[in-house]
Amino acid sequence: MSTPTASSGRGGRFVRRIAGRLAGSEAVPGDTWDAVLLARHQDRPYPLDYIARLMPDFEELHGDRLKGDDPAIVAGIGRYHGAPLAVIGQQKGRDAQDRAYRNFGMPSPEGYRKGMRLMDLCERLEIPLVTLIDTPGAFPGADAEERGQGGAIARSMLMMLRLRVPTVAVIIGEGSSGGALALGVADRVVMLENATYSVISPEGASAILWRDASKAKLAAAAFKPTAANCYRWGVADAVVPEPEGGAHSAHDEAARLLDGYLSRTIRELQALPLAERRRQRRERFRRLGAMREATSA
Amino acid sequence: MSRRPISISIDRLRGKRPATGPARRLPGDERSCPHCQSHFRAEEMERNCYVCAVCDHHFGMTARQRLDHLAGGEPWEEIGGELRAADPLRFVDLEPYTERVRAAEAKGATEAMISAYLEIEGQPCVVSAMEFGFLGGSMGSVVGERFARAAEFAVARNVPLISVTSSGGARMQEGVLALMQMAKTIVALDELADARLPFVMVLAHPTTGGVWASFASLGDVTYAEPGALIAFSGPRVIEQTTHEKLPANFGLAERQFEHGHVDAVVDRRELPARLGRLLGILEQPPRDESQSLASQLAQNGSERAARMAQALPSLSRRLRGRPADATYHPSRGHSGS
Ligand SMILES: [Zn+2]
């Protein structure tokens, strides 16, 4: 665990900007880019940091029982407020070696299949599921393609949609592309205050839409991927506050704030009848979108 | 169907490949095969289902051509045809999204997918066909909604759903709302599964990104057209990210078949017969009325009414936050309209 004192001086500036965003003011490009950088801050807590604070008794599971284990996804079961809870999270590394080991948080099909293994366990043992999303996207590799990257993401979404247990998806850092959404089809989808959620990373969009790798800032401003905007669009159901200065400046406090939201939300979801919970989950994703109707069709 | 060459270009007869400069302009609707340079008139193309009569190269097809082909020239009934793209992010890259949409609409298509009720070889079904010519067949809110309405229409009529994909993936200009369409298609397929109805996929060139990573990967039976690129990440992205040297046939239908990701590679000229036969195999004999359709539909109906009622209180809150030029459609139950 790092001690991010060096960066805490930037906190005041960030907080002011975040306050402006949450108040609904129109973001200027620099603001959005700051949000992207903050969501990717190397000292930001990752799933294992939250797990260590929220669930001292945690059993991590490894392997997809088909091919191997993907370190970009951690999955396991822990004791949470007197009951079992399952967690699937996208894990990045902090130093160069660890980053490479975690493949920069870009999951392979084995990672999603390990997650589905855990979802199956949740279903049989009636254990609620929390996913912690933080990825620049699923890994783009030839091997990953041949082992079914697309199908793994699609099946992970379908399996999450069908679960009979309560599910909460938390975007804790950067949620980019289908690689993030694979773990995001939950009863409640929430974002940490400084998290981002988008169809593609700003760098990817820059290369494709601007045909110029250096336009990531412009892309970020165009996508407006902040928590406040995602809440406004109905993509996020709630925004969980972070400690002053951002989650990277105080991991314990960040975990405490998330704990407050999670424990209450899981209780609320458990109080709903199963049929109602599933109806709401489907309806939540069924209605998302923006379109016009032709006047004379 | 004849495979005899219908017309061959002069260049090819002379063994000459066209110069690599600007493509030779062909009169009217005539097209030249990118693989063997054979040259066909529009009516020859249509007669051969837009497949090269010399080398079997499968040309792209518009969604309308695809539906006409599958319906055997019979009329089809469009579902959700009134839906048009909005611009929720007021998105501008090299040009404004609204301009891109306007230019794409001016070419004749209304969006990157057409859903329709039709019969394939006498088998009634719903088909969602994608239009690569409309912004690269990208999946935005309208594509997601038309797909969902197709599935709901199929449930209402108790018929199978077929989708023919041709798409570069999610429509980036609609941002995270485009991403959410992947989940919307999954919800639609889950409703289809609840009604015990089959979903048949036909992967046409290309099927990539968020389309391959959502409904296109979930066919109960999955066919692919010869030579179609099928991938989550395209070859260019992979080469740039990992610096891998990819084989020439990377991601192509034939290789995806070898790796177990598709059930069969089917020549387009045989597709209607193959689909018709498959739907015939899957057709259920009439069931005992006491536990069948009528009671199921009644149940569905009340569920749907409850859903609509549920959507009402949230409507005003959602409208307040919407961008000025976009209309949100939080309600549903339009299927069948
Ligand atoms: Zn040819």
Any idea what the CATH number is for the domain that residue B109 is in? 3.90.226.10
B289 vs A211: which has the higher pLDDT: A211
B222-243 residue pLDDT tens = 999 999 999 999 998 899 888 9
Could you identify the residue written with the tokens 């059930």? B263
Q: Cα separation of B109 and B102, whole Å?
A: 10
Q: Is pLDDT above 90 for B327? A: no
Number of H-type helices and E-type strands within chain A: 13, 9
Contact A292 B326 (CB under 8 A): yes
Residue A208 forms contact with B (CB below 8 Å) = yes
Q: What is the mean pLDDT of residues A103-131?
A: 98
Contact status of A220 with chain B (Cβ, < 8 Å): no
Nearest to B82 among A153, A200, A293 (CB): A293
Would A19 be classed as within a structural domain?
no
pLDDT computed for residue B115 by the predictor: 98
Whether residue A226 is contained in a domain is answered as yes
Asked if residue B307 belongs to a domain, the reply is no
Query: What DSSP element (H or E) covers A74?
Result: strand A73-80
Residues A129, A171: contact at Cβ < 8 Å?
A: no
Residue B155 domain-assigned? yes
CA of B276 to the centre of ligand 1 (A): 27
pLDDT band at residue B268 under the 50/70/90 scheme: very high
Q: pLDDT at residue B302 above 60? A: yes
Q: Is the pLDDT of residue B45 over 80?
A: yes
Average pLDDT over residues A131-153: 97
**Which A residues, 118 through 147, put their C-beta within 8 Å of a C-beta on chain B?**
138, 140-142, 144-146
- Section B283-300 average pLDDT: 68
CB contact under 8 Å between B332 and A158, yes or no, is no
- For chain A, say whether B162 makes contact (Cβ under 8 Å): no
> Which chain A residue's Cα is nearest to B213?
A150
**B84–A285: do the CB atoms touch at under 8 Å?**
no
Answer with the residue of higher pLDDT: B330 or B163.
Answer: B163
Q: Closest to B217 (Cβ–Cβ): which among A150, A161, A235?
A: A150
Cα B4 to ligand 1 centroid, rounded to whole Å? 12
What pLDDT does residue B290 have?
Answer: 56
Residue B215: inside a domain: yes
Which residue in A has a C-alpha nearest to residue B237's C-alpha? A140
Q: Chain B contact for A185, CB < 8 A?
A: yes
Q: What is the mean pLDDT of residues A258-276?
A: 97
CA angle, B337 then B278 then B272, to 5°: 70
Total domains, chain A:
1
Cβ-Cβ contacts under 8 Å, A285 against chain B: 180, 183-184, 186-187
Using the predicted structure, report yes or no on whether residue B301 has a pLDDT greater than 90. Answer: no
Give the containing element (helix H, strand E) for A239.
Answer: strand A238-240
Contact A161 B89 (CB under 8 A): no
Cβ pair A283:B83 closer than 8 A: no
> Using 50, 70 and 90 to split pLDDT, how confident is the model at A1?
very low
Does residue B120 lie in a domain region? yes
What is the reported pLDDT for B312?
54
ipTM of the complex: 0.91
Does residue A30 lie in a domain region?
no
Please state the domain count of chain B: 1
State residue A2's pLDDT score.
Answer: 36
> pLDDT tens digit string along A229-251?
999 999 999 999 999 999 999 99
Bond preceding residue B206 cis, omega within 30 of 0 = yes
Q: What are the pLDDT digits (tens) for B50-88?
A: 999 999 999 999 999 999 999 999 999 999 999 999 999
A to B CB pairs, distance under 8 Å:
227
Tokens matching residue A146? 């041949």
Residue A150's closest chain B neighbor by CA?
Answer: B213
pLDDT(B321) > 50: no
| Chain A CB within 8 Å of residue B246 CB | yes
Q: Which of B92, B173, B332 sits opposite A286 (nearest CB)?
A: B332
Can you state the angle between helices B175-194 and A216-223, rounded to 10 degrees? 60
Specify the higher pLDDT residue, B302 or A265: A265
| H helix runs in chain A, sequence order | 11-22, 29-39, 47-54, 96-101, 109-125, 142-146, 149-162, 177-181, 202-209, 216-223, 227-233, 251-271, 274-286
What percent of chain B has a predicted confidence (pLDDT) above 90? 73
Q: Classify residue A12: in a domain, yes or no.
A: no
For B186, the domain range is 60-283
Please report which confidence band the pLDDT of residue B3 belongs to, taking 50, 70 and 90 as the band edges: very low
How many other C-beta atoms are found inside a 10 Å radius of the C-beta of residue A5?
9
pLDDT at B23 over 70: no
Question: B124: helix, coil or strand?
Answer: strand
Confidence of residue B293 (pLDDT cuts 50, 70, 90): low
Average pLDDT over chain B, rounded to an integer: 85
Residue-wise DSSP of A10-22: GHHHHHHHHHHHH
pLDDT tens across B113-160, in order? 999 999 999 999 999 999 999 999 999 999 999 999 999 999 999 999
Cβ pair A285:B81 closer than 8 A: no
Mutation site for B-interface testing, chosen from A145, A217, A284 by largest number of B Cβ within 10 Å: A145
pLDDT score of B200 more than 80: yes
Hey, how many other C-beta atoms are within 10 angstroms of the C-beta on A78? 18
Joined tokens for residue B204: 């046409």
Q: Residue B33: pLDDT above 70? A: yes
Task: Note whether B175 contacts A: Cβ–Cβ < 8 A.
Answer: yes
User: pLDDT exceeding 70 applies to what percent of chain A?
Assistant: 89
Radius of gyration of chain B (CA): 21
Report yes or no on whether pTM surpasses 0.80. yes
Give distance in angstroms: CA of A116 to centre of ligand 1: 44
CATH number at A66 reads: 3.90.226.10
pLDDT at B21: 43
Domain range for residue A196?
Answer: 47-281
pLDDT in tens, A198-220: 999 999 999 899 988 899 999 99
In a domain, A152, yes or no: yes
Q: Which residue, among B247, B261, B237, B227, has the nearest Cα to A141 in the 3D structure? A: B237
| Arithmetic mean of pLDDT over chain A | 90
| pLDDT computed for residue B221 by the predictor | 98
